[in-house]
Every structure is written in structure tokens, then in C-alpha cells.
């Protein structure tokens, strides 16, 4: 007998509906799964057989063929288990249900019939919503219910076991669909545990970081150990504009695919902050693998990617960032196909000025030779440095600053208010061009919106002649100047804005020795 049920899989960050066709006929026992399944899908045979028997159903030793259609899409993961088991029960007349045609069925089966959570539920739920005329909902593990419930227009039916799913489909029990209050989720999960008021001193760095956040500019902090570079970086998400619903859903999709969603958290509503260790490989950073998975740059999408001890990263790893920084996405090509992951993040880097870390320290003596410092700094290529808009020095904290009253320090909320006003100005200016921030302006838009006076032009030309900046650096100085003017609420860029922008670029690596 032939049975047909719906399930789903993911490819890239999108969900695809899969038809699970089960044919059972007389003959010597065999259990075949076809339709480009990976190893995890093929191993479903053992899980499904044990789960059916241990749930109190009969399993007849027949010739079983399961086809996952369309056959030209690679199927991976353990999410087909429940759909395959339901198909076998229908094909053996142990389950009769008209409901089964209305739902996509997902879930990994334990040997006792328990339904375990799976990855990629959110993009699948979004795909089910697009097929509202064909499918009305999704049957999925209880642990994934909050994640799928944020998608409007579908029924989310959580089940804890194969037996419970069968009873629901047969009409023996009623399981009410799970609903989610997206606004309430935003209020509950959009809070941070850190605040800028906790950072003592470093007023120059705070100003530079405020400008970086206002225009989504990449930033590099150079300073000795203990200066507070990491502390500053961790607080940058707190002054980035609150995530919109579309940003939250896009970010949650990536985390769902990567299997990093918390069971009780249906939506990621705070800006991601990713801080990979310097031993990370280029594949782990960019993404990839035999079956491509998102890397750290995609997990930092709509948030911050923090690279501490920048020059300790392998050079190949750093150079792999160049294209994603320009395009805001990463394309991973394999023999089985090409996958595109979004990767629009704010790059925040921190490094020491020399191998020992104390070059230029007011108290501690640097023991590095000029050759050692040059060799150390040469790990950072000019093309990558050009893509970092703001480069600042973060000096050692003064004793007087350590005793300062933090209650008088500016809070993240106060900085955020200024940043959001600047972002609103940029949005009104750039929305017709499909971008939101000054950092993402093209050369044509820079020429159109970053006009400066003749005095400011002469100042910029003098700085470029002395420091040897590239054309890309010239454009980035103009972008920073535009952001500074936006923070002050001014339409025109003044000479003082250009002068301030130049000082955020003067830490060229040749100037450090």
C-alpha cells in the first residue's frame, strides 16, 4: 500500500517542503530510503522500527521503500523520522487520518518513541506559511514549539511522542495550536546584562565607538593588555538600534539552522555578539563543510563579530573576511550546489601594539625589538586594514579613572538614544537606495551625500599625502565624517568633522613603530 505525508528540510537558510512517499509490499524484508538522503536520514530505518514497536504498534517485515521527493534536493538531518513512521503506520492501515494531508511533520524519534527536537524549524515554518492553501500547519517536537509559533498564519501542533502524534491525527485527542505574542517576546528577551556606564575612563574610545555604532562602521582598538578593549567590545550591542522583527526573524533562522536556539526562547531579539577564539579555522569562521553550515560571520549577522587578539588569527582566516565585509554575504560552493548565507555584521577588532603588548605604555617597558614589532604588525594586510573604518588607540586606564563614580558615567541607554537619532537620519536619506547606514554607501552615494568644503578638502588631501591612505581609506574618512555630522544633527559636513574622522584613521600600522 502507498502512503503520502509531508515533511520538510532546509537548504541554506530556506525551508523546502518534502513529500514522504511510503510503499509497502509483500516480499523479503527490506527497508530502503531513496531521494538523496544523507547518512543521518538513512539511519532513520533503525530508529523508526524501534520507535514503532516500542510505541505499541505492529511492525510487519515487508518490503518497504521510502521516497523523499523531489529527489534532486539533498536531504540531511534527523527531522524525517516522525514523518516516515507516520507513513508506515498509514501504509499498514494502523492509522487512518484525513488530517495528515494538512500538516508538515517533523521530529527525530528516540527508540522509545519520544520525539526529540530538530534544527531549522523556523525557516520550515515560514515555508509552511507560504503554502497556506496547501498546508494549514506543522506537527513538530514540543521543544521546538516556541520557535515555530512566532510565524503567523499556521497551526503549530507540539507532540512529545509518536503515540501522541498518532492519537492527534486519528482524532482521539485534541492538541490546541501554540500561539506566541511576538511583542511580549521582544520585551522579555531584548535586555542586556552589561552597560557602558560600567566602563571607567576611555572617553576617546567611547566617542569612537559611538560613531562606529551610529554608522555601522568597523572598528579596530589597539592597546596594552588590561586597557578594557574586550570590555568595550562586549557593550557595543547595547548601543546598536533595537532589532526590527524582520532582522530578528532572519537572525533566528540562522541560529535555528545551526542548532543554537534555546528551547524556551522562540526569537532572538538582541543583537548577536560572537567572539571566536583566535585558533578558529577559515571554514568555522566563514562557513562551509561537506554539507554547508553557517559560520561565525553569519551567526554575527545583524550584530557584532569581535576578533580579540587580532594578529593571533591565521592570516588566511583574516583574509577570508575581505569579501563578506564588502558584500554582506558569503557564498559557499560545493559539488552538490551553492549556498548563500547573510553576513552583514559590524566587525570589532582588538590587538596589542607589539608581541609583548607594552609598546608605548607609560609605565611598563616594551622588550620587543623594532624587527619583532614590524614582523608582528605585518600579519595585518593593508587591504583588510582599509576595510576597518575606525582605528583607535586604547591606552592603559589611569588610576584616577578607576576611582571615578560610575553613576556619573553615560549609560548605554543615553548613547543609544543619540545613535538611533543618527540612524533615523541615515534611513531617511538612504532608504531609496536599499541601504540603511553610512558604512554601506557605495562610491557613487559617497560622492552624492558626503560633499565637503574646499577647506575640508585641502585638509583631507594633506592628511592623505602624509599618511599614504588608499582611495578606499579616502572614501571611508568621508563616510565617518558624514556619520559625525549626523550625530550632531547637521546636514552639511564641516571641516571639524573631517578633522575628527582623520584622527580615527591615523593609526596606520606604519605609524606604530
SS3 of 25-83: the string is ECCCCEEEEECCECHHHHCHHHHHHHHHHHCCCCCCCCEEEEEEECCCCCECCCCCHHH
Chain segment 386-438, per-residue pLDDT in tens: 889 999 999 988 776 666 666 678 899 999 999 999 999 999 999 999 888 99
β-strand pairing of 103-105 with 137-141? parallel
Instruction: Express each pLDDT in 359-391 by its tens digit.
Output: 888 888 888 998 998 888 888 888 888 889 999
Q: What is the pLDDT along the chain (513 residues), one digit of tens a residue?
A: 799 999 999 988 899 999 999 999 988 899 999 999 999 999 999 999 999 999 999 998 899 999 999 988 889 889 999 999 999 999 999 999 989 999 999 999 999 999 999 999 999 999 999 987 889 999 999 999 989 998 988 999 999 999 999 999 999 999 999 988 777 777 766 778 899 988 888 899 999 999 999 999 999 999 999 889 999 999 999 999 988 888 999 999 999 999 888 766 778 889 999 999 999 999 999 998 877 889 999 999 999 999 999 999 999 999 999 999 988 999 988 776 788 999 999 999 999 989 998 888 888 888 899 899 888 888 888 888 888 999 999 998 877 666 666 667 889 999 999 999 999 999 999 999 988 899 999 889 999 999 999 999 998 888 888 777 777 788 889 999 999 999 999 999 999 999 999 988 755 434 443
206 and 287: one domain? yes
Q: Assess contact for 52 and 24: CB atoms under 8 A.
A: no
Evaluate whether 469 touches 461 at the Cβ level (below 8 Å).
no
Residue 177 inside a domain? The answer is no
Of 151, 143, 102, residue with least CA distance to 119: 143
Q: Is the dihedral of CA 35, 39, 44, 46 positive or negative?
A: positive
Per-residue pLDDT, 41: 93
Cell 559557499 appears where?
332
Identify whether residues 194 and 166 lie together within a single domain: no
Choosing from 122, 144, 170, the residue where a domain stops is: 170
**CA 124, CA 10: separation in Å to the nearest integer?**
7
CA 328 vs CA 285, 331, 341, 433, 449: distances in Å: 14, 10, 9, 15, 21
Helix (H, G, I), strand (E, B) or coil at 309: coil
Whether residues 213 and 155 fall in one domain: no
Q: Which residue has the cell 599618511?
A: 467
For residue 69, being part of any structural domain is answered with yes
Angle at 409 between CA 404 and CA 411, to 5 degrees: 150
Q: Are 124 and 117 in contact (CB under 8 A)?
A: no
Asked if residue 176 is part of any domain, the answer here is no
Q: Pairing mode, if any, of strands 293-294 and 287-288?
A: antiparallel
- Whole-number Cα distances in Å, 102 to 1, 150, 161, 449: 20, 19, 19, 52
Can you give the CATH number for the domain in which 419 is found? 3.40.50.300
User: Strand 346-351 vs strand 108-109: parallel, antiparallel, or unpaired?
Assistant: unpaired
Q: Is residue 175 in some structural domain?
A: no
Cα–Cα dist 217/208, whole Å:
10
Establish if 178 belongs to a structural domain.
no
Give the per-residue pLDDT at 512. Answer: 42
**Half-sphere exposure for 280 (CA within 13 Å, toward CB):** 23
| The total number of structural domains that make up the chain | 2
The pLDDT of residue 446 is 92
Residues 497 and 382 in one domain: yes
141 in Cβ contact with 117 (< 8 Å): yes
The H or E element spanning position 297 is helix 296-299
Please spell the DSSP secondary structure of 448-507, one letter per residue.
HH----HHHHHHHHHHHHHHT--HHHHHHHHHHHHHHHHHTT-SSPPHHHHHHHHHTT--
- Residue 483 contacts by C-beta under 8 Å, 6 or more apart in sequence? 211, 214, 215, 217, 422, 426, 438, 439
b/e code 214-241 from CB counts within 10 Å (16+ = b): bbbbbbbbbbbeebbbbebbbbbbbbbb
Question: Are 131 and 206 members of one domain?
Answer: no
* CA-closest candidate to residue 500, choices 511, 488, 484, 512: 484
Cα of 444 vs its chain's centroid, Å: 29
For residues 28 and 148, membership in a common domain is answered with yes
Could you report the per-residue pLDDT of 122-147, keeping only the tens digit for each?
Answer: 999 999 999 878 899 999 999 999 89
In a domain, 236, yes or no: yes
- Residues 119 and 225 placed together within one structural domain of the fold: no
183: in domain: no
- For residue 117, give its domain range: 2-170
What's the pLDDT at 183?
A: 76
Q: Where a domain ends, among 140, 170, 200?
A: 170
Q: Is residue 450 part of a domain?
A: yes
Whether residue 226 sits in one domain with residue 102: no
Name the grid cell of 485.
555630522
Radius of gyration of the chain (CA): 28
pLDDT at 326: 87
Strands (E), 70-207: 103-105, 108-109, 115-116, 137-141, 155-159
Same domain for 162 and 284?
A: no
Distance CA 471, CA 386 (A): 9
Say how far apart CA 253 and CA 276 lie, in whole Å: 20
Cα 338 to Cα 340: distance, rounded to the nearest angstrom: 7
- Residue ending a domain, choose from 112, 137, 170: 170
For 22, the grid coordinates are 511510503
Whole-number Å distance between alpha carbons of 32 and 428: 57
Tell whether 73 and 207 lie within a shared domain.
Answer: no
Q: Do 218 and 361 sit in the same domain of this protein?
A: yes
Tell me what pLDDT residue 511 has.
Answer: 44
Going by their DSSP bridges, the two strands 137-141 and 155-159 should be labelled as parallel
Residue 80 CB neighbour total at 10 angstroms: 31
CB–CB of 455/495 below 8 Å?
A: yes
Q: What is the CATH number of the domain that holds 145?
A: 3.30.230.10
Q: How far is it, in rounded angstroms, from Cα 27 to Cα 470?
A: 74
Q: What span, in angstroms and rounded, lies between the C-alpha atoms of 433 and 325?
A: 19
State whether 18 and 119 are in the same domain: yes
Amino acid at each position: 500500500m502507498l502512503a503520502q505525508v509531508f515533511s520538510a528540510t532546509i537548504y541554506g537558510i530556506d525551508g523546502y517542503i518534502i513529500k514522504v512517499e511510503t510503499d509497502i509490499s509483500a516480499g523479503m524484508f527490506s527497508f530502503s530510503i531513496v531521494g538523496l538522503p544523507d547518512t543521518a536520514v538513512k539511519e532513520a530505518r533503525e530508529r523508526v522500527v524501534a520507535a514503532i514497536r516500542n510505541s505499541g504498534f505492529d511492525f510487519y517485515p515487508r518490503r518497504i521503500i521510502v521516497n523523499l521527493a523531489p529527489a534532486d534536493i539533498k536531504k540531511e538531518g534527523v527531522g524525517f523520522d516522525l514523518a516516515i513512521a507516520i507513513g508506515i503506520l498509514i501504509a499498514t492501515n494502523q492509522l487512518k487520518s484525513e488530517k495528515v494531508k494538512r500538516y508538515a511533520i517533523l521530529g527525530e524519534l528516540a527508540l522509545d518513541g519520544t520525539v526529540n527536537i530538530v534544527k531549522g524549524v523556523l525557516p520550515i515554518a515560514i515555508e509552511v506559511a507560504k503554502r497556506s492553501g496547501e498546508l494549514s500547519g506543522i506537527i513538530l517536537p514540543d521543544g521546538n514549539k516556541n520557535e515555530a509559533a512566532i510565524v503567523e498564519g499556521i497551526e503549530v501542533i507540539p507532540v512529545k511522542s509518536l503515540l501522541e502524534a498518532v492519537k492527534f491525527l486519528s482524532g482521539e485527542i485534541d492538541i490546541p495550536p501554540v500561539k506566541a505574542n511576538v511583542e511580549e517576546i521582544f520585551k522579555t528577551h531584548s535586555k542586556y546584562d552589561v552597560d557602558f556606564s560600567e566602563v571607567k575612563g576611555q572617553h576617546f574610545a567611547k566617542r569612537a565607538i559611538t560613531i562606529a555604532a551610529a554608522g555601522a562602521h568597523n572598528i579596530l582598538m589597539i592597546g596594552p593588555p588590561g586597557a578594557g578593549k574586550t570590555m568595550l567590545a562586549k557593550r557595543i550591542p547595547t548601543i546598536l538600534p533595537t532589532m526590527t522583527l524582520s532582522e530578528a526573524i532572519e537572525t533566528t533562522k540562522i541560529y535555528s539552522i545551526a542548532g543554537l536556539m534555546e528551547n524556551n526562547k522562540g526569537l532572538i531579539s538582541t543583537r548577536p555578539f560572537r567572539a571566536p577564539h583566535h585558533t578558529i579555522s577559515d571554514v568555522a569562521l566563514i562557513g562551509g563543510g561537506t554539507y554547508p553550515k553557517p559560520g561565525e560571520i553569519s551567526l554575527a549577522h545583524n550584530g557584532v563579530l569581535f576578533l580579540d587578539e587580532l594578529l593571533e588569527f591565521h592570516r588566511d582566516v583574516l583574509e577570508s573576511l575581505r569579501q563578506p565585509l564588502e558584500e554582506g554575504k558569503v557564498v559557499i560552493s560545493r559539488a552538490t550546489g551553492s549556498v548563500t548565507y547573510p553576513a552583514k555584521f559590524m566587525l570589532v577588532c582588538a590587538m596589542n601594539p607589539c608581541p609583548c603588548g607594552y609598546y608605548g605604555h607609560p609605565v611598563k617597558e616594551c622588550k620587543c625589538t623594532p624587527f619583532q614589532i614590524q614582523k608582528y604588525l605585518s600579519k595585518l594586510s593593508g587591504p583588510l586594514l582599509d576595510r576597518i573604518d575606525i582605528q583607535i588607540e586604547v591606552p592603559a586606564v589611569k588610576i584616577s579613572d578607576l576611582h571615578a563614580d560610575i553613576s556619573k558615567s553615560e549609560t548605554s541607554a543615553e548613547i543609544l538614544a543619540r545613535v538611533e537619532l543618527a540612524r533615523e537620519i541615515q534611513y531617511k536619506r538612504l532608504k531609496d537606495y536599499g541601504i540603511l547606514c553610512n558604512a554601506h554607501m557605495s562610491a557613487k552615494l559617497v560622492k552624492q551625500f558626503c560633499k565637503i568644503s574646499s577647506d575640508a578638502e585641502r585638509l583631507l588631501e594633506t592628511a592623505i599625502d602624509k599618511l599614504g591612505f588608499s582611495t578606499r581609506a579616502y572614501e571611508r574618512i568621508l563616510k565617518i565624517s558624514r556619520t559625525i555630522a549626523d550625530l550632531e544633527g547637521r546636514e552639511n559636513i564641516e571641516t571639524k568633522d573631517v578633522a575628527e574622522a582623520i584622527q580615527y584613521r591615523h593609526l596606520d600600522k606604519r605609524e606604530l613603530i
